[in-house]
């Protein structure tokens, strides 16, 4: 056997466990879900072919489908830009060389590595309308806090506020991008008399745009798959379905009603939506992302 082929064989043997796992637990179920989306399947009985009936019911008869889609789109439109702005601002603040800056960076990063379920349980206490931390602080100023997760309006905004808890993860990526910006660009801008605001607009943000683009794509994908927090804190979709996110409704159809065919159709619609939005973001990068 030639040395090149032998090396290739050795490499394939090393990655074989991952390839087998990917094929068995990801690729095959991925293909099976296409077939199941055209069937009635409740796990107990064999799948029954129904053609496009699941998709037709989703798009024309299921009010909760449109309500969950609207909640998810609303969350994505609010959360994604907010997370980008907050992450960039935090990175700019923590990019300054001051005493103890490493400790501050650690403090802001730590929430992003705390398990999501644990964070959700903590926020259940923080947002408790009677004994919660936020409402107790508001009472000290004579303000009656909202019911938060028990209120149709505030339940959604409570999850939006909570979603910023883990922004430290993207902040670290922005910080790495800031460290990668050549210092001579700032020196040239200062010599030309550019103010700090102009340096931010014409040097920092353009050079940081590839990192913003990456986090934007990941944020869009993550927003449309938002599930764990809503499931732990409002498992039934909150008051008046105000927190019935698409992924939560999909989960309920699959594991609460055992309607696997219907859930598979929902999953494929979600897949097409995410792919389409990601493609739109990729096409837009030519206008605002600057490399090098």
* pLDDT of the residue at 137: 93
The pLDDT of residue 149: 93
pLDDT band at 96 (very low <50, low <70, confident <90, very high): confident
Average pLDDT over residues 182-198: 92
What pTM was estimated for this model as a whole?
0.91
φ and ψ of 35, to 5 deg:
-65, -45
Asked whether the predicted pLDDT for residue 128 surpasses 70, the reply is yes
Count other Cβ atoms within 10 Å, centred on residue 150. Answer: 15
Q: How far apart are the C-alpha atoms of 87 and 252, rounded to whole Å? A: 33
With a cut of 90, say whether residue 214 has pLDDT above it. Answer: yes
What phi-psi label fits residue 123: left (phi over 0), alpha (psi between -120 and 50 degrees) or beta? alpha
Per CATH, the number for 57-288 is: 1.10.3720.10
Asked if residues 124 and 162 have their Cβ atoms less than 8 Å apart, the reply is no
The whole-chain average pLDDT of the chain stands at 92
């Amino acid at each position: 056997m030639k040395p090149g082929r032998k090396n290739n064989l050795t490499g394939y043997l090393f990655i074989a466990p991952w390839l087998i796992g990917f094929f068995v637990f990801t690729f095959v179920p991925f293909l099976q879900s296409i077939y199941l989306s055209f069937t009635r399947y409740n796990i107990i009985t064999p799948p029954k072919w129904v053609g496009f009936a699941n998709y037709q019911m989703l798009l024309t008869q299921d009010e909760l489908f449109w309500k969950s889609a609207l909640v998810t789109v609303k969350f994505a439109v609010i959360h994604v830009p907010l997370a980008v702005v907050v992450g960039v601002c935090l990175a700019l603040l923590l990019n300054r060389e001051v005493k103890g800056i490493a400790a501050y960076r650690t403090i802001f990063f730590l929430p992003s590595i705390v398990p999501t379920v644990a964070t959700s349980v903590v926020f259940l206490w923080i947002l408790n309308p009677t004994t919660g931390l936020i409402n107790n602080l508001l009472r000290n100023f004579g303000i009656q806090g909202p019911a938060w997760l028990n209120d149709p309006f505030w339940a959604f905004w409570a999850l939006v506020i909570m979603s910023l808890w883990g922004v430290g993860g993207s902040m670290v990526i922005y910080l790495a991008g800031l460290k990668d910006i050549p210092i001579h660009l700032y020196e040239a801008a200062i010599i030309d008399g550019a103010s700090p605001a102009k340096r931010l607009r014409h040097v920092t943000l353009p050079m940081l745009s590839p990192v913003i683009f990456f986090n934007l794509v990941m944020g869009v994908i993550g927003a449309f798959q938002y599930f764990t927090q809503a499931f732990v804190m409002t498992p039934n979709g909150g008051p008046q379905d105000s927190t019935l996110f698409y992924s939560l409704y999909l989960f309920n159809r699959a594991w609460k009603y055992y309607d696997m065919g219907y859930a598979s159709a929902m999953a494929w619609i979600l897949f097409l939506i995410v792919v389409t939005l990601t493609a739109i973001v990729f096409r837009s990068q030519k206008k605002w992302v600057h490399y090098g």
